[in-house]
Amino acid sequence: MLGSLDDGNMVRNDTVDRRSYLRAVAAGGVAVGLAGCNGNGNGEGGVEVAFEIETGEEYGFGVREGESDLQGALDDGLQAARQDDVYSDLIEEYFGNGDDAGDVTEGADGGTGAGTITPGTAPGFAPFEFKEGGELTGFDVELTEAIVARTDYEFGGFEEFEFDSLIPALQDGNIDMIAAAMTITDDRDEQIDFSNAYYEANQAVLVSSSSDIDPSGREDLEGRVVGAQSGTTGEGEVDKLIEDGIISEDDKRIYDNYELAVNDLESGNVDAVIIDVPVAENFAER
Amino acid sequence: MDILPLQAGDWAFVGTNWWILMQGLYVTVLLTVGSLLLGFLAGFPGGAIEVYGRGPLRSVVRGVGVLLRGTPIVVLIVLFFFGVQWPDIGAVPLGGLLPLPAFEINGQALLASTAALGLRSAAYQSQVFRGAIRSIDEGQLEAARSVGLSKLEAVRHVVVPQALRRSIPGFQNEFTIVLKDTSIAFAVGLAELLTRGFELFTQPAGQTAVVEIILTVSAIYFVLTFLTNRTLDRVENRFAIPTGE
């Protein structure tokens, strides 16, 4: 079950066996910590954004294929949330000065006649979705509540899944929409439908502040070990580096969660990690 | 080599959020007990059928056992969750007993995880019981028959009581495996112990506490496993088959 502990941070391509992979990584991390090797990701030295990659990537809400009513309602709800300044308040709360946006359903004029929708998300991706004091919160979570309150649908409460389980859960009817910082890609668009984009995020290349590596462009990553979270756009960017011959397949490290990737970056096991800009800035500031 | 720089502030973070881990522990224990119970209820008859059964029934039990034992548990859980239409029992409220704050978990995820872990465990437990039944000398069955017991009575009163005792060490092993494998319920979003730990270090305040949280979670699993194994050791000694020495 545990796969191999000794190559705990290796690339893993199947999407199902995530749990055992995390356990391998976690066990590896504990082993490294106990062995007393340098650092254990306690923020010593910290990380910084070396440069950004313009991907033009946009996040959208996912709905089942053909559910154009819901899709249209979400687009209108997003528009209404922007007009009510709830959208900009949430941007300030999660990416700006941190001021609480307050009650996001205030001033909403939606109904509940069109039925209940249950959104799904994958907590563990601050500031978009994470758990705090046992409660689910984050930019996507509050924005979803704000938007649904501005449609004719009733908000049915979030269900939580692993990121890779979200699309199956949507197709299977466990949830009615995905609000999980999900980038609109052609591959995903073949499986599900997306609302209009609600967030634009480029990718950031994070490096350790204490390392002597200071890349200023993709070419500077030549021969480096680069990591990302499984299934994210960051992983796509790592793949592009491989396609372009900048790094070799062996130098790709994929993690179950970006947190573990940054932990490994601080420990010096990878040279760079590619993640969304707002998330990267969150780390660079801590 | 540096000394492990675990930080006091991060341990304090674990300390203030201990109740979140306890909620996870609650679900882990619930899932373990439920799965083992289901595993026993299905696995014990399964083992008996593999030994005494005949014809298609035995073939079916064997076949299902091989399938369940030969499939990775994460695949089983995902399959049971997405592939089976569970009744929508909604959110299951748990806790609320002081000092554990009340919380809710996804009912369908609980059903699917219990079914997957329980049936997989049944497949393993059936082998534990099969081995234990086989370890009782055939002569005892013959002796029981010769004093007038029917075959069923002989199995029920002579073989089973001894086989159950001999299966304790194997069962102990199975308990440990099921307890640790409950962490795989993470895949379907069930808030068990490891999921809760994960929740803690992915929130902004806990981002530096990854190792501290994982060490704490490991320690909780270890304590649970250790205590239960010791208890089962005692049970085994207490109910050991008298040797007459």
* pLDDT tens profile B199-239: 898 888 887 788 899 999 999 999 999 999 999 999 999 98
Among partner residues B199, B210, B218, which is closest to A41 by beta-carbon distance? Answer: B210
pLDDT digits (tens, 9 = 90+) for B111-130: 999 999 999 999 999 999 99
Query: Confidence band (pLDDT; 50, 70, 90) for A38?
Result: very low
User: String of b and e for B145-176 (b: at least 16 CB within 10 Å)?
Assistant: eeeebeeeebbeebbbebbebbbbebbbebbb
Residue B10 has pLDDT above 80, yes or no: yes
Residue A272 has pLDDT above 70, yes or no: yes
User: Could you tell me which chain B residue has the CA closest to the CA of A157?
Assistant: B91
Is residue A260 less than 8 Å (CB to CB) from chain B? yes
Domains of chain B: 8-238 (1.10.3720.10)
State how far the Cα of A173 lies from the Cα of A193, in Å rounded to an integer.
14
User: Which residues of B fall within a CB distance of 8 Å from A20?
Assistant: 72, 74, 184
> What residues of chain B, 159 to 178, have a C-beta less than 8 Å from chain A?
none
- Residue-range domain boundaries for chain A: 38-56+202-285, 58-200
User: Which residues of B fall within a CB distance of 8 Å from A42?
Assistant: 5-7, 10, 208, 211
User: Is the ipTM of this structure higher than 0.90?
Assistant: no
pLDDT digits (tens, 9 = 90+) for A211-239: 888 898 899 999 999 999 888 888 989 99
Query: Confidence band (pLDDT; 50, 70, 90) for B6?
Result: confident
User: Which residue has better confidence, B229 or B8?
Assistant: B229
User: Which residue has better confidence, A72 or B4?
Assistant: A72
Query: Confidence band (pLDDT; 50, 70, 90) for A37?
Result: very low
Query: Could you say which of 3.40.190.10, 3.30.420.10, 3.30.1310.10, 3.40.640.10 is the CATH number of the domain covering A58-200?
Result: 3.40.190.10
Query: Confidence band (pLDDT; 50, 70, 90) for A6?
Result: very low
Identify the weakest region by mean pLDDT among B104-108, B150-154, B178-182.
Answer: B104-108
> For B195, how many CA atoms within 13 A lie in the half-sphere containing its CB?
25
- The residue-averaged pLDDT of B57-65 equals 96
Identify the weakest region by mean pLDDT among A13-17, B63-67, B132-136.
Answer: A13-17
User: Could you tell me which chain A residue has the CA closest to the CA of B189?
Assistant: A161
Among partner residues B78, B101, B202, which is closest to A123 by beta-carbon distance? Answer: B202
Residue B3 has pLDDT above 60, yes or no: no
Asked whether the domain spanning A58-200 has the same topology as the one spanning A38-56+202-285, the reply is yes
Residue A1 has pLDDT above 60, yes or no: no
User: Could you tell me which chain A residue has the CA closest to the CA of B180?
Assistant: A23
Mutate to test the interface with B, among A131, A170, A285 (most CBs of B within 10 A): A131
Is residue A144 less than 8 Å (CB to CB) from chain B? no
Identify the weakest region by mean pLDDT among A37-46, B38-47, B66-75.
Answer: A37-46
Is residue A113 less than 8 Å (CB to CB) from chain B? no
- The residue-averaged pLDDT of B27-31 equals 95
Q: Which residue's structure tokens are 């949330």? A: A81
pLDDT digits (tens, 9 = 90+) for B85-101: 888 787 888 877 767 88
Mutate to test the interface with B, among A47, A160, A262 (most CBs of B within 10 A): A160
Give every CB contact of residue A29 below 8 A, 6+ residues apart in sequence.
Answer: A8, A40, A41, A260, A263, A264, B210, B211, B214
Is residue B204 less than 8 Å (CB to CB) from chain A? yes
Residue B161 has pLDDT above 60, yes or no: yes
Instruction: Give me the sheet containing A203-208, strands edge to edge.
Output: A47-53, A203-208, A272-276, A226-229, A252-255
pLDDT computed for residue A283 by the predictor: 81
User: Could you tell me which chain A residue has the CA closest to the CA of B75?
Assistant: A16
Count the residues in chain B.
245
Residue A33 has pLDDT above 70, yes or no: no
Query: Confidence band (pLDDT; 50, 70, 90) for A63?
Result: very high
pLDDT digits (tens, 9 = 90+) for A145-204: 999 999 999 999 999 888 988 999 999 898 999 999 999 999 999 999 999 999 987 899
User: Which residues of B fall within a CB distance of 8 Å from A134?
Assistant: 20, 23, 101, 103, 199
Q: How many C-beta atoms surround the C-beta of residue B223 within 10 A?
A: 11
Residue A56 has pLDDT above 70, yes or no: yes
What's the gap in Å between the CA of B58 and the closest CA on chain A?
Answer: 28
Q: What is the CA radius of gyration of chain B?
A: 22
Cα torsion A278, A281, A285, B2: sign: positive
B101: preceding bond cis by omega (within 30 degrees):
no
User: Which residues of B fall within a CB distance of 8 Å from A174?
Assistant: 82, 108
Among partner residues A23, A126, A161, which is closest to B202 by beta-carbon distance? Answer: A126
CB–CB contact B214 A37 (8 Å): no
User: Which residues of A fall within a CB distance of 8 Å from B215?
Assistant: 30, 33
Query: Confidence band (pLDDT; 50, 70, 90) for B5?
Result: low
CB–CB contact A165 B215 (8 Å): no
What percentage of chain A reaches a pLDDT higher than 70?
A: 83
Token pair belonging to B146: 């010769």
Do residues A237 and A16 make contact, with C-beta atoms less than 8 angstroms apart?
A: no
What's the gap in Å between the CA of A207 and the closest CA on chain B?
Answer: 16
Among partner residues B181, B187, B205, which is closest to A162 by beta-carbon distance? Answer: B187
Task: Show the beta-strand stretches assigned E in B140-192.
Answer: none
What's the gap in Å between the CA of A222 and the closest CA on chain B?
Answer: 29
State how far the Cα of A210 lies from the Cα of A45, in Å rounded to an integer.
5
B72: preceding bond cis by omega (within 30 degrees):
no
Q: What is the CA radius of gyration of chain A?
A: 20
Residue B66 has pLDDT above 90, yes or no: yes
pLDDT computed for residue A193 by the predictor: 96
Residue A277 has pLDDT above 90, yes or no: no
pLDDT computed for residue B1 by the predictor: 41
The whole-chain average pLDDT of chain B stands at 91
Residue A43 has pLDDT above 80, yes or no: no
Mutate to test the interface with A, among B198, B212, B213 (most CBs of A within 10 A): B198
User: Which residues of B fall within a CB distance of 8 Å from A280?
Assistant: none
Is residue A277 less than 8 Å (CB to CB) from chain B? no
CATH topology of domain A38-56+202-285: D-Maltodextrin-Binding Protein; domain 2 (3.40.190)
What's the gap in Å between the CA of B12 and the closest CA on chain A?
Answer: 14
